[in-house]
Amino acid sequence: MKLFGNKNNTKNESQTKKRTKKKRSTRHNSLLYLIGILLVSAVLATTGILLGNDLFALAKEDREITVTIPEDATVGQVSKLLDKSGVVNYGSFFRLFTTIIYRDVTFRPGMWTLNSNMDYRHIVNEIRLTNRSTQTVTIPEGYTIEQIIDTLVENGLSSKDELTSVLQDGEFNYDFLPDDLGNETNRLEGYLFPDTYEFYLSDDADTIINKMLGNFQNKLNDDSEGDSLAELCEAKGMSVADMVNIASMIEKEAVNADDMYQVSGVIANRLNHSSEYPYLNIDATIQYAVGHLELTDEDMKTDSPYNTYTSKGLPPGPICNPGLDAMKAAVSPAQHDYYYYVANADGSAHIYAKTQEEQTANIKKVQAEKNAN
């Protein structure tokens, strides 16, 4: 009886152990399942938060971004473009949203200044084709801030007071701008890129100015044909501010694109040999200071930091808004030994000289030709 009883006890103990192991295994599997559910939920929640933030722009940085939309761009193409440029973080989600909400949306080709803190609806409404009236405006290379203001107002865009107010006191978030802009109307001189723009007639002054600054930023960082202007400046140890300053003088002085590199070479030679040539002697800087083209002897003595006949080195800032050719010439001056130049009799070209004696002779020759005519 004792042996039989022990056998049953052993059997019961074995069954109890099996049940205990089964319970432990079940609890373990349940725990793993619960952890899996929590992980999946966390991933879904995080994804939802990220997508929601992108959709509604709940906590995105304030950054102006200029994008160029090509002709007949599809929703997919625009979504990729906005994703790549940083306007949206999830291009595929933007595409899904736009396809569902706007269906057969058509985008307006051209250059648009957007902000990374815009929600999806704001972005689409900004760039889609609507019945809003637009105005095309061309800003020529070499225009000053004052000329740009007049051109915009003449084309029914904003008002002189509003544009002046934004130019003086507006806040702009662009790395290429000097840290201390001050509050003068011409503080953005040199950075409103000359180009043909299409604006909505309802655009405010801030939108207009930011579109032009955004265009400058695009041109500065464009590396589609090699090193960008920004990269060339960095390689040469030249600040963007100095590049634009020099380019503005080149824009005003040169007679054509080829001549720009020669003029740039003269400026570079004088800056690199400032002990011997402390003054740039650029007529255009005095014209900027006095506000007219025909210079008198008194104008040449004008007491202004922009008078490069009496003030050493570069002027305080750009004297106009230069185009791309002038900026390229500023970072890649022609290599020569010229320090002087004078326009020929009909103003179609420059005559270059290495010495003051040569320059004086050239001036006399030009004057004689003018008198003969």
**What's the mean per-residue pLDDT of the chain?**
89
Report yes or no on 174 lying in a domain: yes
Which pLDDT tens digit goes with each residue over 317-353? 999 999 999 999 999 999 999 999 999 999 999 999 9
Tokens of 7: 């056998």
Instruction: Check residue 69 and give left, alpha or beta (phi > 0: left; psi -120 to 50: alpha).
Output: beta
352 or 106, higher pLDDT: 352
Give the pLDDT confidence score for residue 23 in this predicted structure: 55
Task: Assess whether 259 and 324 both reside in one domain.
Answer: yes
Quick: pLDDT tens for 293-322.
999 999 999 999 999 999 999 999 999 999
Q: Are residues 217 and 261 in the same domain?
A: no
Give the end of a domain, one of 187, 221, 255. 221
Which residues constitute the domain of residue 208? Answer: 134-221
Residue 45 has pLDDT above 90, yes or no: no
Work out the number of other CB atoms within 10 angstroms of the CB of residue 169: 10
pLDDT confidence of 28, banded at 50, 70, 90?
low
By the 10 Å C-beta count (0-12 exposed, 13-18 middle, 19+ buried), 96 is classed as middle
Length of the chain: 373
Mean pLDDT of 60-84: 91
**The two structure tokens encoding residue 347:** 């103003």
The number of distinct structural domains making up the chain is: 2
- Let me know whether 281 and 243 are in one domain: yes
Whether 52 maps to a domain, the answer reads: no
Q: Specify the pLDDT at position 3.
A: 45
CA–CA gap between residue 148 and residue 140 (Å, rounded): 9
Residue tagged 């089964």 (tokens): 22
Q: What is the pTM of this model?
A: 0.76
Which has more confidence, 152 or 22? Answer: 152
pLDDT in tens, 182-221: 878 899 999 999 999 999 898 999 999 999 999 999 999 9
Shared domain for 166 and 251, answered yes or no, is no
pLDDT of the residue at 4: 46
- 25 located within any domain: no
